[in-house]
Amino acid sequence: MSFSVTILGCASAKPTANRHPSAQAVNIHEQYYLVDAGEGVQQQLIRAGINPLKLRAVFLSHLHGDHLYGLFPLLSTLGLYGRCTPLPVYAPAPFGEMLAAHLRFLDRELPYTVEWHEVDTTQHALLMENRTLEVWSIPLRHRVPCAGVLFREKEPPLNVDKFKITKYGLSIAQIAAAKRGEAVTLANGETLPNEELTYRPYRPRAYAYLSDTNFSARAAELCRGVDLMYHEATYAAAEQRSARERGHSTTADAAKAALKAGAGRLVIGHYSSRYKDEQVLVDEARALFPETYPATEGHTFTIEKQR
């Protein structure tokens, strides 16, 4: 039951010698989701040992080149690899027009369909779900419409304690009732509350991706209790003015968001090319939020399963 985030790119828009623009692979129960697709993302997937055919969906936070220039070559490559299952892409408008142009001029014979799902970046909305996972949009404050992505595991089904089954001699019907969350009445008339018999096998985990954005109290609030939060920190704290004007955040903004959300750990990234070494940014954020870690390409952050 894996739940992890692999950093594929951590730079902002200007190219640097040793960093790629934004992209991450989120692995939830061995299902892979691509979050943003900066230039070079397909090579970065290969370097990280992630088979691009395993991607179940793509989420694009916004339509700035440093978050999507890598997507179109990846779409072509998936065709070369013979993908036949549809690929959902969640992105704000007018992504559909870009996709249509790409398909018309460069990928006329793609053997699979790319399904665009429009994201309304003003809404905190459920984008997709399956048996164990929900993915939500988080409205952000950037120069163009932009939404973060929140991955939340669903509550796992109740398990009935084996020791209690023996202790109370529960029948199959009583076990089924306990699994449905009901209280169980024994033959002697005693009623056992559901909590006496059941437990959740694990605590649901959550990851929030917030880039690109000014500090947003609302966004932080929507991420309440996440185990891991990625928040862009393009600038050092002293560059507050540049950050505000350009729709970005400082290290202090990122730390403030993690504090407000009560996040377990904070990962910062989307570093401006002016910072050759991100340690200065990490140190600043850590002074406010000690559990801060740098986005480093190829590094995987794992959220452990906990009872």
Name the residue nearer to Zn ion (CB basis): 14 or 203. Answer: 14
- Please, how many CA atoms are within 13 Å of residue 120, restricted to the half-sphere of its CB? 5
Which residue's CB is nearer to Zn ion, number 22 or number 174?
22
Q: Quote the longest CA-to-CA distance of the chain.
A: 75
Q: How far is the CA of 237 from the CAs of 149, 171, 286, 293, in angstroms? A: 25, 62, 12, 16
* Nearer residue to Zn ion within complex by CB, 212 or 227: 212
The mark string for 174-213 relative to Zn ion (x by CB under 5 A, - otherwise) is --------------------------------------x-
Look up residue 84 and give its amino acid: C
Chain residues 25-64 in contact with Zn ion, contact rule CB under 5 A = 64
Least CB distance to Zn ion at residue 157 (A): 39
Q: Show the site string, 208-247: x = touches Zn ion by CB under 5 A, - = not.
A: ----x-----------------------------------
- Which residue of 66, 227, 278, 297 would you call a contact of Zn ion, by CB under 5 A? 66
Q: Which residue number, 212 or 253, has a Cβ lying nearer to Zn ion?
A: 212
Site size for Zn ion, by CB under 5 A? 3
Among 125, 149, 121, residue whose Cα is nearest residue 36: 149
Query: Given the complex with Zn ion, which of 44 and 174 has the nearer CB atom?
Result: 44
**CA 285 and chain centroid, separation:** 21
Residues numbered 148 to 167 that lie near Zn ion (CB under 5 A) are: none
Nearer to Zn ion, 5 or 206 (CB): 5
To the nearest whole angstrom, how small is the minimum distance from the Cβ of residue 59 to Zn ion? Answer: 14
Residues 237, 287 contacting (CB under 8 angstroms) = no
Q: What is the C-alpha to C-alpha distance for residues 21 and 2, in angstroms, rounded to an integer?
A: 25
Instruction: Please pick, among 36, 66, 212, 227, the residue that the annotation labels catalytic.
Output: 66
**66 flagged as catalytic:** yes
Shortest spacing between CB 168 and Zn ion, in angstroms:
58
Q: Which residue is nearest to Zn ion (CB)?
A: 64
CA distance linking residue 119 with residue 209, whole number of Å: 15
Query: Does 297 contact Zn ion by CB under 5 A?
Result: no
DSSP per residue, 159-225? EE-HHHHHHHT--HHHHHHHHTT--EE-TTS-EE-HHHHEE-SS---EEEEE-S-S--HHHHHHTTT
Binding site for Zn ion (CB under 5 A): 64, 66, 212
**Catalytic center residues:** 66
